[in-house]
Structure 1
């Protein structure tokens, strides 16, 4: 008997191709005798089914495995909602790049079938917690599997902020912002900003300045247990924004304090047994073989 009996499904509902793959997956799982639980928004995009429906926040309580049909953005959203339940997550790629969702649509039955009989790799990925305080009062928070980003928001202006790592002052920086990225996020926005690619197994965090005014300012890699504090400078004209995985957003003001640290809960990411991080880099990033 498979260790995964109750399987949750989350689909990228605005994508017709994702809905096609979702229906194909539903038919396969039902035919194989698994209990399928649809996330409520996903269920609304699929008609004529008799499957159980649940809010995304409760899937972690009800399921042994959650399968996400969509792009990396869909999986990031699922990770933020499900990490605290320790339920493993598997991705089927119906997006563009697909670093996290690594099963292709034509492999659904074969690769998902292999995972369900125990032929898979499991990786533990950590997330980041972010909070913003103003005059000692909390005004916003969020979590991220990829990155927390400080940026100017709607204005194209340099912003000024102080950075502290583990209570030690690092620098006062004027730049377009700062990316604080996990190894998972090192192949996303941080890579575009000139940051290093980090292997997913590393317990490390990279700080990538965005177009710093001081050209000698470079990415810094620190240990994963580090705690970060950003203090928004009083000379800013723009109101810097802080976002988590490009989704949860808080608008800051001068003097606000942003704190970031590793989340206590980790995500278990499932891959097919033949998954290879370096092959993924070769194929997704166009490396010469």
Structure 2
């Protein structure tokens, strides 16, 4: 196991509870003799500026990976998603402390910060690879916009509640034309997020697969599909749509598109490393987060 010597810290802004957990985390790292680097916007928004004094430096979110060998995110899944997109190319692993709501990606509870982070620093952890999706919007062959997504890429009508018409292709094979509210293209990581609420299947994080989940299709025969992870997915937006559709990556990056545009989605070559405590269990996480039943004899 590699030794983590310099720790990057990202905290969910406008959250008193997250800042409190950050204080505990900084105190613990200092006691352990570990250097830490504060993400720049985290440092700028800290109400207690004394927290910056022990930091080696501050760095932008995009540059944080060049200073650190581990980044800890204190916040919710949204904070982890933005951190993952910014840091995936650096190869630095991410560890999450949950100060959000659901917390599928942030493993450590606030009460366990010192114990669990100590275990990770001692090499007692599980490293897991997750892939992201590369997304491009092309208009008459020209690249208009691009982004990454750890959870999902969603085609939707935008501000107006109107059905979209589009064609779906996988590996240049025509699959179907559809009238619906849009399409969710999901990684296994994102299968427990928006895709799940749209009726999509839960995919184990180790699967090399992509979920295609239609949103309120105008036909009962349209169902979610799972395709190989190396698939080349293309969505051709119909020429006669009256809506102003958008493509959204992880619910955080938004691109307005025009009728006739192509949305091209494929697996990103560079993968993200997530760090989990040794007691991490995907099925237990599903039970606790999604309210599944426990043992019948308990």
TM-score exceeds 0.5: yes
Within 5 Å, which residues of 2 pair with 1:171-182? 171-182=176-187
> Matched residues in 1 for 2:103 and 2:125: separation?
18
Within-5 A mapping of 1:40-51? 40-46=40-46, 47-48=49-50, 49-50=52-53, 51=55
Q: Does 1:222 align with 2:215?
A: no
Q: Could you tell me the TM-score, scaled by structure 2's length?
A: 0.96
Regions of 4+ moved over 3 Å: none
Task: Write the mapping of 1:1-289 to structure 2, written as runs, cut at 5 A.
Answer: 3-46=3-46, 47-48=49-50, 49-50=52-53, 51=55, 52-289=57-294
C-alpha distance in 2 between matches for 1:45 and 1:33: 25
The Cα shift of 1:53 comes to 0.5
TM superposition shift of 1:2: 6.9
Q: Deviations over 1:118-139 (max 9, x none)?
A: 0000100000000001122111
Partner SS, residue 265 of structure 1: coil
The secondary structure found in structure 2 opposite 1:129 is: strand
* 8 A contact 1:19–1:45 mirrored in 2: no
Structure 2 CA distance, aligned partners of 1:2 and 1:85? Answer: 16
What SS does structure 2 have at the residue aligned with 1:130? strand
Deviation at 1:45, TM superposition (A): 2.8
Aligned residues: CA RMSD: 1.0
| Deviation readout 1:156-213 (Å, 9 max, x if unpaired) | 0000001100000001100000000000000000000000011000000000000000
Unaligned 5+ residue runs, structure 2? none
8 A contact 1:2–1:116 mirrored in 2: no
Matched-pair contact (CA < 8 Å) for 1:132–1:140: yes
Question: TM-score by structure 1 length?
Answer: 0.99
Q: How many residues align?
A: 289
